[in-house]
Chain A
Amino acid sequence: MSQRANERYHICDLLFSQYMLITRLLSLDENHQSIIVAQKRWPAPLSDPKQLYRNFYDMMQKVSYNIVCGCCGTIGHNIDEFTRLSAQNELLRLLTVNSKDVPFSFECGIAALDQQHIMIDPLAITDYSTVSICQRCHSCLSDSSLPAEALANFRWIGPMPDELKDLTWVEEALIARSHLFGRIFRLEERKNREPAYSSLKGHVVLVPQNTMRLLDILPLSPDSLADIAHVVWVGKSEPDITRMAPHFTVRKQKVLDSLKWLQKHHEDYQNVRIDTTELDKWPSVFITEALFHSIAHVRSGMMEDTFKDGFAVEDIDIDHFEGNIPNTVSAILDVNNFSQSHHLKILQELQSLHQDLTINVVPGNKVLEHYQDATYFTSAFPTLFPWGTGKHKDPRRDKSELQLQAWMQLLLKHSSRYCIFILNKLIL
């Protein structure tokens, strides 16, 4: 019985393989034929270059605009993505806000909108009566719901007052309530005066700083700046204090004025006390010496791929140390090297770490986290959020929550980008 089954199996197998062979041969033949056809056709005739250029030209024409969406206040470039609404349009009524919630005036100049407290971005107004709205916001408004991205969804940021304008970065660091990340400041000596984008090559590892709570007494002592910022000087010569002074200058009156303004108007600065004894110690204009002396020096910009001067290690690696190790370390690791096997490179890197460098990351459990604290960003960047409004988290946004990533993208595209540009231009 089993023998018969075996035979039958063999016959089936044979038939099947024969069948496969035939079909396979057929398909290979077919393939061969079509390859020959394709080969004969090759090279295929090219498209008309004029038409190609027209395509390209049309596409570029479409994106050669700067359009601000009145609803979410972001800049777009593609004209197809925007629609124009008349100021009388019913849809805009959804953007009405309670004017008591907004600490600043948000009038846009169109009486019909201002009377109803409708919040739009004034830059979106074209022809004094129409407002451009991006497609996303428009479709959301058409469903008669407030878009999560809308400025009226507790995302208003407000104009920057004169007191906070043209603060240097050092001054800003002194009045911020928290310092979320270590800052790396790179100054470079350039021979051919070829301007370059300010940048650092390689990867920057951001180690959370030990901001366990927000500062209530401001300004910060200039000596503590060295903990939150690292300055790297790239160039063959020694850094010249007179040329670099503008980057490190602190004007006492300016700091005091901005703090006073913030105390009065910024949501998160209500309970801040101005430390007059600290301020009395300051001369009216001075250069932050502590920071200046901590400058790391890189001889050659060409070697920047391998520099590790950004490593800063607190000399606290001792056995008897008790409690949390204060963590104020920022580090740069380079990963841009192709010529070697990357395993080899990692191994070598690890060895060099093993010998004399240790990075302690012991943040404890009280580090500020963005998901716990609504004031996380607004209190750290007072010049970006002068009124403390437009936080990434807001309980009043109950209906349409904004994700952190979306919130950040909206900020990057925010129409105020150009205002900052104008400001910078004035300084230059």
Chain B
Amino acid sequence: MSKVTVRTKRKTWAKTSQLLESLSSEDLARAAKEEEIHHRITNPAVMELLKSLSQIGGTTSGSDERKSHMLTELKSSSVYYGFPVIYLTINPADRHSPLALLYSGVKIDVNNFMPDNYSYTERVQTLLQNPLGVVEYFHNMIRAMIDGVLKRGMFGELMHYYGIIEYQGRFTPHIHMAVSLFAKELNANCLVVMA
């Protein structure tokens, strides 16, 4: 809600509104056809419309604009750091973790956890009541993996990683990471050659 911008107050709005008013659904259909065969959209009004829509979408996380922005980030990071060599997916199992259960408010001893004392259904119901606990568990787990394992040289010297969190069908988070590993000298030189 804090990101609301009033586009109609812009200086260029008078011009833009004229363009937008001239649009008909046939224009849109024609533009869609052009886009489908990967041609340039010829109608300036349609372009203007798309431009303002993408400006709005750019700030909304999860939108297509945001995703294409992240893709560009990933591309430029592979130009800068070299190509990623490892594609890593970490999917912490919230249902089988004593930690997630602890974060959800169950008083358990994490180090001597007896899974048999808590039935599967009971555990899952507890987690469903506490989505924030699961998110915190995921966050701490991934932090520990990146800081304690990846950065300490699990695959060799870490140059760069780029990760995106996704939510699967059950709406638990998991992370995909592209990891770039290079010896420092090699990488620095890649930069010079590219420049």
Where the two chains meet, the residues of A that have a C-beta atom closer than 8 Å to any C-beta of B are 27-28, 31, 34-35, 37-39, 41-44, 46-47, 51-52, 55-56, 58-60, 63-64, 66, 77-78, 194-199, 203, 206, 335-338, 341-348, 350-351, 354-355, 405, 412-413, 417-418, 420-422, 424-425, 428
Contact = CB atoms under 8 A, between A and B. Distances in A.
Contacts of B134: 197
B124 A43 contact: no
Given A203-B60, A342-B64, A417-B130, 10 more contacts: A43-B156, A44-B183, A63-B140, A195-B125, A197-B171, A206-B1, A338-B67, A350-B28, A351-B25, A417-B132
Interface string B1-37: 1100000000000000000000001001101100110
Given A47-B153, A60-B144, A64-B99, A199 B171 contact: yes
6 closest A-B pairs by CB:
A418-B105, A55-B148, A38-B186, A342-B64, A59-B144, A47-B153
Given A417-B105, A421-B130, A60 B189 contact: no
A39 B185 CA distance: 10
A421 to B, nearest CB: 5
Contacts of B114: none
B144 A63 contact: yes
B102 to A, nearest CB: 6
A342 B65 contact: yes
Contact of A55 (B46, B132, B152): B152
A347 B155 CA distance: 44
Contacts of B156: 43-44, 46
B80 interface: no
Interface string B161-195: 00000000111100000000011011011001100
Interface string B31-68: 11001101001000010011001000100101111011
B85 to A, nearest CB: 10
B148 A335 contact: no
Contact of A346 (B50, B153, B157, B186): B50
A421 B134 CA distance: 14
Contacts of B155: 46
Contact of A195 (B2, B67, B128): B128
A41 B183 CA distance: 8
A354 B154 contact: no
Contacts of B183: 38, 41-42, 44
